[in-house]
Amino acid sequence: MIKEWRDFIKSDPGVMMGKPVITGTRVTVELILEKLAAGETVEQILDEHPRLTKEGVYAALAFASEALRADVVYPTKVEKTGAKTSEGHCRIFY
């Protein structure tokens, strides 16, 4: 387990347009998540990005997990027909 994701993730408006990156690299949390979602292994990601560490990859996952704990609705599918409710809101399916 990593110490704390905050030790590994930084956001600077001058680096990668302020996206969260692994400290000391230009590797974004977003890129790591995309690669893992596409089926790449941690080892493959590390091979492609030599300055990245296993702890950095796990920190990206911890960062994403904490970010998703926010009280926000993430729609995955919006009903196409009759999408508006009587109040004018869209019905969202999960």
DSSP state of 16: G
Task: For residue 70, give the 3-state DSSP assignment.
Answer: coil
Range of the domain at 71: 5-93
Q: With a threshold of 0.75, does the pTM exceed it?
A: no
pLDDT at 90: 54
3-state secondary structure of 88: coil
**Residue 85 · residue 91 · CB < 8 Å:** yes
Query: Contact at 8 Å (CB) between 79 and 91?
Result: yes
- CATH for 55: 1.10.10.10
Contact 16, 26 (CB under 8 A): yes
Task: Name the β-bridge partners of 10.
Answer: 21
pLDDT in tens for each of the 94 residues of the chain? 456 899 999 999 999 999 999 999 999 999 999 999 999 999 999 999 999 999 999 999 999 998 888 767 667 766 555 555 555 555 544 4
Q: How many domains does the chain have?
A: 1
